Chains A and B, each alone.
Chain A
Amino acid sequence: MASDISESLANVIRMLESAIRAAGVTCLFATPMIGPCDFAPRAAANPYTATLPLQSSIIEYGKDFLIYTLAELMGGQHDITPLERVVEHFEYLREVSQPNNQLISPETASIAGRVWFECWSATGFALPVPAACTGPDGQMLYTWDTITHHLELELDPREATGTFFYRNRATGDTWIEDYKPGDAIHPEAIQKLKLFV
């Protein structure tokens, strides 16, 4: 019984996921089981505190599971697979290089995607997806962080090369190296990247 419910819920979640991705964060829950509500925007704002009005005892049974999964879909703290993270990252690169929201050029987005793949390959296919952020003049910055280590790779369309920059928070030591996308990654940069594997 429990597994049937979980499977049904999983189907619901899959549908919600498609709808959320297709429509953005809008009111999606207009079914008899889950009444029309504004859960999605609230969950997007704070997936940990938003509550879902539930009208079905079956769904009530799986409430925690549903909220857990929705929070995950909305960017919560639960694990998502490495592949999902990569897909999400490439969606982000597309999004920030769209003509109507062009924070980086399609060329920079393309280079950024390729560079990510090269870094991932260079670390034995183990480097996590970076935290990424666009800059004021079309830059793309990748960052990897632990408590002690901070590594950046910045791609600046105004310069022919990217820049690796490392800072050790404990010692204050820094290291910097140019990187031309397409060229072999500097061995020291690979060593730094492996700090985050």
Chain B
Amino acid sequence: MSIRPGQNGEALPPGTRVYRIGKKSQLSKAALRQRRASPEMFEPSSADKGSESKSISIWVEELTVPDQGWAMMGAKPNNTVVACIDADKIAQAPAQAGFQPMKAVWEKATVQNIDGTTSPNLHPGAEGHAGIWGLLQGGDSKADKAKRLALRSILADLADISPVPVPHDLVPEHISVAAYYIAESHAWTCGCHPDVHWMMAVRQLRRERVRQEKESRAD
């Protein structure tokens, strides 16, 4: 599957896998043992509430390796949890009465300049930035607050915690081998910078670990 970033507000294509790393989400050991995302990981920040898009940040896995997303979010050593969701499931989540359904949409990543203005984020992987819209609907009533809390807990239920944290704990030699294999399979003619092969290797090894974990759970 090859995904091209869309325009701001455009829905992500069907079958897109996204993930969220809560910027200030640190889970307790009890939470980590449960291997369950916390609804707080989907809580919009004050900045999200004040933003034009009214959405919370997610990343498209095909375009942004979680380690890249984590690095762009400040590489905080305690934010190790990656919550993965199928974008289709977000759109299919039951809508709350009077609320629009949630949706996963493209949203170009930006960086804040010293003077407070923003510029496009040009870091590798930034093109995979997207957002979940729908968590900031309704007013100040208790009923609307309950609907918002229901939505974020539904998102937490839909999410899988990746068995590979950020930063990844992959064996460096395995990454080297996979990167070499990718370069070979590109017949060394792709013109990619070696870093690109390295990132593709990390993505492939991450996916493999996820697949293995799913298999072991099924057993």
Q: How many residues of chain A get a CB closer than 8 Å to chain B's CBs? A: 38
B59 nearest CB across to chain A (Å): 16
**Are B24 and A136 closer than 8 Å at their CB atoms?**
yes
B94 within 8 A of A: yes
Cβ–Cβ < 8 Å partners of B7 in chain A? none
Cβ–Cβ < 8 Å partners of B34 in chain A? 131, 145
Question: In the assembly, what is the distance between CA of A134 and CA of B169, in Å?
Answer: 23
Question: In the assembly, what is the distance between CA of A87 and CA of B46, in Å?
Answer: 32
Chain B residue at minimal CB-CB distance from A150: B153
Cβ–Cβ < 8 Å partners of B3 in chain A? none
The digit string for B66-78, where 1 denotes a CB below 8 A from any CB of A, is 0000000000001
List which B151-178 residues lie within 8 A (CB) of chain A: 153, 157, 163, 165, 169
**Are B25 and A174 closer than 8 Å at their CB atoms?**
no
Question: In the assembly, what is the distance between CA of A175 and CA of B145, in Å?
Answer: 10
B205 within 8 A of A: no
Binds B, one of A4-12, A60-68, A161-169, A189-197: A161-169
A33 within 8 A of B: no
Question: In the assembly, what is the distance between CA of A141 and CA of B156, in Å?
Answer: 13
Given the known interface contacts A103-B24, A136-B22, A174-B146, the answer about A131 and B153 at a Cβ–Cβ threshold of 8 Å is no
**Are B149 and A152 closer than 8 Å at their CB atoms?**
yes
**Are A133 and B26 closer than 8 Å at their CB atoms?**
yes
**Are B28 and A92 closer than 8 Å at their CB atoms?**
yes
Partner of A139, one of B23, B40, B163: B40
**Are B36 and A176 closer than 8 Å at their CB atoms?**
no
**Are A136 and B43 closer than 8 Å at their CB atoms?**
yes
**Are A136 and B45 closer than 8 Å at their CB atoms?**
yes
Chain B interface mostly: helix
Partner of A165, one of B94, B146, B165: B146
B30 within 8 A of A: yes
Cβ–Cβ < 8 Å partners of A75 in chain B? 29, 32-33
Q: How many residues of chain B get a CB closer than 8 Å to chain A's CBs? A: 37
B39 within 8 A of A: yes
**Are B30 and A132 closer than 8 Å at their CB atoms?**
yes
**Are A41 and B28 closer than 8 Å at their CB atoms?**
no
Question: In the assembly, what is the distance between CA of A143 and CA of B150, in Å?
Answer: 13
B31 within 8 A of A: yes
**Are B46 and A136 closer than 8 Å at their CB atoms?**
yes
List which A119-168 residues lie within 8 A (CB) of chain B: 129-137, 139, 141, 143, 145, 150, 152, 154, 163, 165, 167
Question: In the assembly, what is the distance between CA of A41 and CA of B170, in Å?
Answer: 11
**Are B142 and A176 closer than 8 Å at their CB atoms?**
yes
List which A14-63 residues lie within 8 A (CB) of chain B: 41-42, 45-46
Question: In the assembly, what is the distance between CA of A152 and CA of B153, in Å?
Answer: 9
**Are A133 and B149 closer than 8 Å at their CB atoms?**
no
The digit string for B93-116, where 1 denotes a CB below 8 A from any CB of A, is 010000000000000000000000
**Are A133 and B31 closer than 8 Å at their CB atoms?**
yes
Partner of B39, one of A88, A95, A143: A143
Cβ–Cβ < 8 Å partners of B149 in chain A? 152, 163, 165, 167, 174, 176
**Are A172 and B94 closer than 8 Å at their CB atoms?**
yes
**Are B41 and A167 closer than 8 Å at their CB atoms?**
no
Of the A-B pairs whose beta carbons lie under 8 Å apart in the complex, a sample of 26, sorted by A's number, is: A88-B28, A88-B29, A92-B28, A96-B26, A101-B26, A131-B28, A131-B34, A132-B27, A132-B31, A133-B28, A133-B40, A134-B25, A134-B40, A135-B24, A136-B23, A136-B44, A139-B43, A145-B36, A150-B157, A165-B153, A167-B150, A169-B157, A174-B146, A174-B150, A175-B146, A176-B146
